[in-house]
Amino acid sequence: MTPDAVASIQWKGDKARLIDQTRLPGEEVYIDIETMEQMHEAIQKLRIRGAPAIGIAAAYGFYLGIRSIEADHFDSFWDTASSKADYLASARPTAVNLQWALERLKDGIKERRTQSIEDIKGWVLNEAKRIHEKDKKICKEIGEIGHALIPEEANIITHCNTGSLATGLYGTALSVIYHAHANEKNPHVWVDETRPLLQGARLTTWELMHANINCTLITDSTAGSIMKKGMADLVIVGTDRVAANGDVANKIGTYPLAVLADRHHIPFYVAAPLSSIDLNLSSGDQIPIEERSSEELTHIGTTRVAPEGTPTYTPAFDVTAHSLVNGFITEEGVIRDHFESQFAEFKQKQGAKTRS
Ligand code: MRU
């Protein structure tokens, strides 16, 4: 099976279909999402997850929410539609892609205020499909650009899941690895298990093994000794949000990995679509960090692994300082320094292309 076969989300006529990522790798269960409330639940419970994938899911979820609005005038349609967008945006706070997709749809609705409500609804669905298709293209470009950074026979450490399951297709960090593999560089991937929800153990190994890419599962705390023994050439991760100065929010455990890579003089790369870069936030301190329920730490699946009543601290993401990042791999190219000005320049370049 190639990365093409693992679609996180599909639009099927009048509903969205997701592969339920909470059931992988044991079972491949597809769920049909017919309402905005179901999509909110699916995002919040991580049935669909990964920053770009939840942006796509929110876009379809928004359409599912607005298609039933009965309004005679634009203003009443707008009030209901924007409160539905706020509700969807509240499903998960860290990944900016979710807000980005919803803002894009809201902006488009405002521009169409003179059109009929039915036409506006039709536009929202088409725009959600465009966001989806565009993400597939962008992830492919990230892989094509990024694999130039991967030497032959490289040993690569990655964290969480950043593959087809986390995006429209291919992924971000995993797209780079898929493309290195397709270009016969024979990469080997050390997969961090990614406690507490085990996205690495459950999802990344599943994707890589289906794509016939060599991989080895490790506990999160093994990465340091692998680096010390000279068994890793680089680290590559994805991100949920990058601040204007280049600080990176990603799955909890990314920051220690970056510190270790720095200590061992191993390049640390972040693969991200430009939509993950939030120029409204000047530094990573401003990125909202989601805290998950304590059961995700006290239990593995349904098995309790900590005594009843154990106090917990459960941030789902951490922030890595920009000084620890050796490069951002984006669809417009690799950015190695002057992050703030380069991000703005790349976004401008992309905006100009879209308009032309
Ligand atoms: O909580 P998750 O599984 O949604 O976290 C996902 C990550 O942290 C990924 O690394 C990130 O979204 C980049 S995915 C392309």
Contact 76, 54 (CB under 8 A): no
Kind plus residue range of the DSSP H or E element containing 131: helix 117-146
* pLDDT at 279 (0 to 100): 97
When pLDDT is averaged across residues 26-34 and rounded to a whole number, the result is 97
Give pLDDT tens digits for 126-164.
Answer: 999 999 999 999 999 999 999 999 999 999 999 999 999
Task: Specify the DSSP class assigned to residue 45.
Answer: T
* pLDDT at 221 (0 to 100): 97
Name residue 60's beta-bridge partners: none
Q: Rounding to the nearest 10 degrees, give the CA dihedral for residues 165, 175, 141, 30.
A: -20
Give pLDDT tens digits for 107-132.
Answer: 999 999 999 999 999 999 999 999 99
Contact 38, 11 (CB under 8 A): no
When pLDDT is averaged across residues 155-184 and rounded to a whole number, the result is 98
- Nearest atom in ligand 1 to the alpha carbon of residue 197 is 3
Whose structure tokens read 């094509």?
A: 144
- The CATH architecture one would assign to domain 9-140 is Up-down Bundle (1.20)
Instruction: Tell me the CA–centroid distance for residue 240 and ligand 1, in Å.
Output: 6
Set 240, 262, 278, 318: catalytic member: 240
Residue 311 has pLDDT above 70, yes or no: yes
- pTM of the predicted model as reported, rounded to 2 decimal places: 0.96
Coil, strand or helix at 75:
helix
- Give CATH for domain 144-355: 3.40.50.10470
Name residue 291's beta-bridge partners: 315
Task: Specify the DSSP class assigned to residue 200.
Answer: I
320 or 7, greater pLDDT: 320
Instruction: Tell me the CA–centroid distance for residue 183 and ligand 1, in Å.
Output: 26
- Nearest atom in ligand 1 to the alpha carbon of residue 163 is 15
Instruction: pLDDT band for 351, please (50, 70, 90 cuts).
Output: confident
What's the rounded Cα separation, in Å, for the pair 11 and 132? 9
Task: Specify the DSSP class assigned to residue 220.
Answer: G
Give pLDDT tens digits for 31-83.
Answer: 999 999 999 999 999 999 999 999 999 999 999 999 999 998 999 999 999 99
* pLDDT at 356 (0 to 100): 63
* pLDDT at 352 (0 to 100): 80
* pLDDT at 355 (0 to 100): 66
* pLDDT at 3 (0 to 100): 60
- Nearest atom in ligand 1 to the alpha carbon of residue 160 is 10
- Nearest atom in ligand 1 to the alpha carbon of residue 95 is 12
Residue 281 has pLDDT above 70, yes or no: yes
- Nearest atom in ligand 1 to the alpha carbon of residue 316 is 1
* pLDDT at 5 (0 to 100): 60
- As a whole number, the mean pLDDT across the chain is 96
Residue closest via CA to ligand 1's atom 6 equals 50
Pocket test for ligand 1, best of 160, 191, 207 (most atoms within 8 A of CB): 160
**Extents of the domains making up the chain:** 9-140, 144-355
**Phi and psi at residue 141, to the nearest 5°:** -65, -40
Q: What is the separation of C-alpha 302 from the centre of its chain, rounded to a whole number of angstroms?
A: 26
Coil, strand or helix at 310:
coil
Residue 297 has pLDDT above 70, yes or no: yes
Pocket test for ligand 1, best of 24, 161, 164, 252 (most atoms within 8 A of CB): 161
Give pLDDT tens digits for 200-243.
Answer: 999 999 999 999 999 999 999 999 999 999 999 999 999 999 99
Strands 30-33 and 15-19: antiparallel
240 is catalytic: yes
Half-sphere exposure of 146 (CA within 13 A, CB side): 35
Residue 286 has pLDDT above 90, yes or no: yes
Angle CA 208–277–259, to nearest 5: 65
Instruction: Tell me the CA–centroid distance for residue 267 and ligand 1, in Å.
Output: 20
Whose structure tokens read 């693969």?
A: 271
When pLDDT is averaged across residues 310-314 and rounded to a whole number, the result is 98
Instruction: Tell me the CA–centroid distance for residue 75 and ligand 1, in Å.
Output: 36
Kind plus residue range of the DSSP H or E element containing 18: strand 15-19
User: Are 9-140 and 144-355 equal in CATH topology?
Assistant: no
Give the tokens for residue 269.
């790369």
What's the rounded Cα separation, in Å, for the pair 208 and 145? 20
Residues with CB under 6 A from ligand 1: 46, 49-52, 95, 160, 162, 166-167, 171-172, 199, 238-240, 250-251, 316
Give the tokens for residue 94.
């860290």
Give the tokens for residue 350.
């992309």
Kind plus residue range of the DSSP H or E element containing 156: strand 155-158
What's the rounded Cα separation, in Å, for the pair 52 and 183? 25
When pLDDT is averaged across residues 306-326 and rounded to a whole number, the result is 98
**pLDDT-above-70 percentage for the chain:** 98
Instruction: Tell me the CA–centroid distance for residue 95 and ligand 1, in Å.
Output: 8
Instruction: Tell me the CA–centroid distance for residue 93 and ligand 1, in Å.
Output: 12
- Helix pair angle (74-89, 36-44), 10° resolution: 20
Contact 305, 299 (CB under 8 A): yes
Q: Which residues of 86-117 are buried (b: 16+ CB within 10 A; e: fewer)?
A: eebbebbbbbbbbbbbbebbbeebeeeeeeeb
* pLDDT at 1 (0 to 100): 47
